[in-house]
Structure 1
Amino acid sequence: MDLSEQIYVRKSCRKYLDDEIDMSAIKEFMDNVKPLTREINYSYEILTKDKLNIRTRWKAPYYLALYSDKKDNYGVNIGFIFQQLSLFLQSLDIGSCWVGMASLKENNPKFVIAISFGKSNDLTREISQFKRKSLSEIADTEDERLIPAQLAPSAVNSQPWYFKQSNEGFDVYKVKHNIVKRKILGKWNDVDIGIALAHLYISNPETFEFEVKDKQDIKGYTYVGSVKI
């Protein structure tokens, strides 16, 4: 299934209907999803809103609670895996939104983040409605292959990624925030990076490769990994 077209119309959904959803399609998709790092164990469960503490003004009928072993790059891996599911849900006319302001009522130390989802009449937008940094602001080259990453959602639209061209593809970096922003966004920016990488994978499924190399940080950014697309 080609999900790449969903990247150019998707919006973070905050208006939901109460319609029931057949969850079997989610399970089937997740049985075949591509992880970024196979060495990290992760899982998910589908919950109703009464099982979470939700600090948003809006609520959805369903939530995905995402869990992971807390190893290096676990947040990136979670973002990568479940943004694929988000695009798949979009293809089924099911809206979704990453929800940083939610926690489980029953504590689980492996909990990372939640995703709201449900049927909606407010699913898509035009490409002109995306409010994103220019390619020159997120990369050292205006390579149009990076547009899918440019359009990726992120916590408060912070777009914390930076791509530096290399001989084999791109080195991927995460912005270094000041202490105030780090307290607010630092927890979610690894997930954001994974979401952007998922868009690159969905757009280049046959050629995408990710590897963590021995690379130095650059001014204002922390090295995350390197991709071939």
Structure 2
Amino acid sequence: AYKEDPGRFLRMILKAGSAEGKGGAAAELDAEGHPPDTPEAYKEAVKNDYESRWHKKAMILEPPTNLQWWIELFKLNNGWAPPPEAWADILRDVTEREVREALARGNQNSAPGPSGITRATWLATHDTNSTLLVEVMNKILRTGDWGQKLMNGLIYAIPKKPGRCVISNARPICLLETFTKCLTRIIKDRWNKIISEHPTVERAQTAFVPGVDIM
């Protein structure tokens, strides 16, 4: 649909979220209340349901303003992979400075993971024996083996809004080990540097990209 008529393709996308269109997943039951009994029947049920969503009468007739911007946004990208030197930089050994900066930048009052070791404790440990964390992190980068304990976390329910933490006002939060968050922060910082130097990411991806905002 995009290649044949980009404008129509865009209107179909916009219509999917409009108040006039149907919402929810495709119907999984037939008229008698039975689910399709074969993969072919299920595909046909999905096809019939979604065809009604894109019915010509329900489409937006007038194209939105700045249509060319939308066409550009939905263009298919060529595959992208960082240059070889980028991978080498991402997976190079961490330094004592990187570890200390990653620990210092975190919230000093953040809750620890299952071990109970706080960020302040890790920072004091690093200042006393700066090679300990560096050696462990570099072993992880070289082998890819984090170990089960570093991947464990504590899941708690916290209120979405001020008030009681009940099912209708709760969301889960996972407390990972501070050590684990420190290493992932270092890797994330390296990725940000690579993306800044080689800004070839998915066209629709604008969140969390250095120097780019969602607007």
- Same fold, judged at TM 0.5 (above): no
Q: Which has the larger radius of gyration?
A: 2
Give the number of the structure whose residues are more often helix, by fraction: 2
Task: Indicate the structure whose relative CO is greater, using CA pairs within 8 Å and at least 6 residues apart.
Answer: 1
The TM-score by the shorter chain falls in which range? under 0.3
Q: TM-score, normalised by structure 2?
A: 0.26
Give the number of the structure whose residues are more often strand, by fraction: 1
